[in-house]
Structure 1
Amino acid sequence: MADEKKVLIVIAPRNFRDEELTEPINYLMQAGISYDVISTTCGLAIGMMGGEMPVEHTISDLNEGDIAQYNAILIVGGNGAPEYLWNYRPLLELIQKFDKQNSIVSAICLAPAVLGQAGVLKGKKATVWNDDQAIEEIRKGGGIFTSSPVVVDGKIITANGPTAAAAFGEKVAVSVKNL
């Protein structure tokens, strides 16, 4: 179906934050929005709380045609985000492609730092986990840091951590549904 809504979810292969994945997925499913989960490597990704997510495709596997089928990208945080996702060139390029196609670009917890690194936050308000280095990445990328739990600025949606996961998931699902 041409009008089917779809979200690409990016997680770290280790130590992604479980509820930052599961809560948004719950809202996407309730809204009838499909999703795919990718990472930097294939295999079984393991969350900080022990949750497991099978990953069949990597960020590097995607081509332009693949990207065009998605309405949004959602990047999950957790302790694994700085290690596996920050400064990861294929992810930064992927974020830029989503931004260029005017899709929703969203990230939670420590993951919004990659939005700053990708250069998509210039002049945009964004939030991130209360971590000096993560906040600095937002600012270095031209973003305006705010400490609100969830921030929506145009098609950029950010959230500051696991306690905001449900509200973040709801905002992403509603935004995608309204495209």
Structure 2
Amino acid sequence: MKKVLLLLADGFETFEASVFIDVIGWNLVEGDNSTELFTCGLKKEIKSSFNQRFIVDYLVEDIDISTFDALAIPGGFDVYGFYNDAYDEKFLDLIRGFKTNNKIIASICVGALPLGKSGILKNKNGTVYNNPVRREALKGFGVNVIDQPIVIDDNIITSWNPSTAIDVALLLLENLTTKSNADKIRQLMGFDDRKN
């Protein structure tokens, strides 16, 4: 079984988190049945952007990285405290641990900023929310910011806004399984570009 850890900061965006939950879950039930997703945070109860409450499966300090195959990080809103958790040293250390262990890391929107702050994107290509302030912040971490919706460099997926979320989750699934399996899930979920 391939295990994905969804790392949630206070102020995370629920839509960006939900695509990982759904794609990995759809694969568990309707795909090759090989993936499971677990949630993690700095504390047991995490509030999303817009203040919905979530109880995570694990605390950061309880994670054994060797038991996971990938890390997924949704973005979030500054006004809801996203960067308080996302820039916390324990949060960043977990990211570094996944990189050190050569695991797949996928982020959506400003989820790329803790990757940048952790140092794992230094001198690599990446992208982030297509807003000048966020792009400059990512550049400030030594990242070569590319002007495109999704960028993959060295097992690290970054993207620029919520519209890319489903594609990032499906790319993560493709990397964990196969392209044909990810395409099957895309089609089953109705994201196969067919016009109805």
Q: Same fold (TM over 0.5)?
A: yes
Amino acid at match of 2:6: I
Distance in 2 separating the partners of 1:94 and 1:30: 26
Matches within 5 A, 1:5-84: 5-13=2-10, 15-32=11-28, 33-43=35-45, 45-49=46-50, 51-62=52-63, 66-79=64-77, 80-84=81-85
Output the amino acid matched with 1:5. K
- What residue identity is the alignment partner of 2:9? A
CA contact (8 A) 1:20 1:161 kept: no
Larger RCO (CA within 8 A; separation ≥ 6): 1
Question: Residue by residue, what CA displacement relative to the aligned partner does 1:34-92 show, whole Å, maximum 9, x if unpaired?
Answer: 1110112112x333356543214221332xxx110111111111104323212x10111
Q: Give CA deviations for 1:2-54 in whole Å, capped at 9, x if unaligned.
A: xx1011111123x21111011122111223311110112112x3333565432
Question: Quick check: 2:73–2:111 contact (8 Å CA) kept in 1?
Answer: yes
Aligned: 1:157 with 2:154: no
* Separation in structure 2 between the aligned mates of residue 59 and residue 26 of structure 1, nearest angstrom: 22
RMSD: 1.8
Q: Distance in 1 between matches of 2:101 and 2:122?
A: 17
Equivalent-residue separation in structure 2 for 1:24 and 1:147 (angstroms) = 24
> SS at 2:110's partner residue?
coil
Q: Give, as a single letter, the amino acid of the residue that structure 1 aligns with 2:41.
A: S
| CA distance in structure 1 between the partners assigned to 2:166 and 2:52 by the alignment | 17
Partners of 1:26 and 1:49 in 2: CA distance: 20
TM-score, with normalisation over the residues of structure 1?
A: 0.85
Name the TM-score, length of structure 2 as normaliser.
0.78
Distance 2:133 2:61 in 1: 26
Q: How many residues align?
A: 169
Q: Letter of the aligned partner of 1:21 in structure 2?
A: A
Distance 2:51 2:173 in 1: 25
1:105 and 1:133 map into 2 onto residues whose CA distance is 23
Larger Rg: 2
CA distance in 2, matches of 1:9, 1:28: 11
Mapped contact 1:81–1:110 kept (Cα < 8 A): no
Q: Which residue of 1 aligns with 2:184?
A: none
Aligned-partner Cα distance in 1 for 2:51–2:167: 22
Cα distance in 2 for partners of 1:22, 1:122 equals 28
Uncovered stretches (5+) of structure 2, i.e. residues with no partner: 29-34, 179-196
Distance 1:58 1:137, change over 3 A: farther
- In structure 1, the gaps of 5 or more residues are none
Q: Is the 8 A contact 1:59 1:91 kept in 2?
A: yes
User: Of Structure 1 and Structure 2, which has the larger fraction of its residues in helix?
Assistant: 2
Compute the displacement of 1:98 (Å): 0.6
Match of 2:93, SS? Answer: helix
Whichever residue aligns with residue 39 of structure 1, its letter is G
Q: Distance in 1 between matches of 2:52 and 2:161?
A: 17
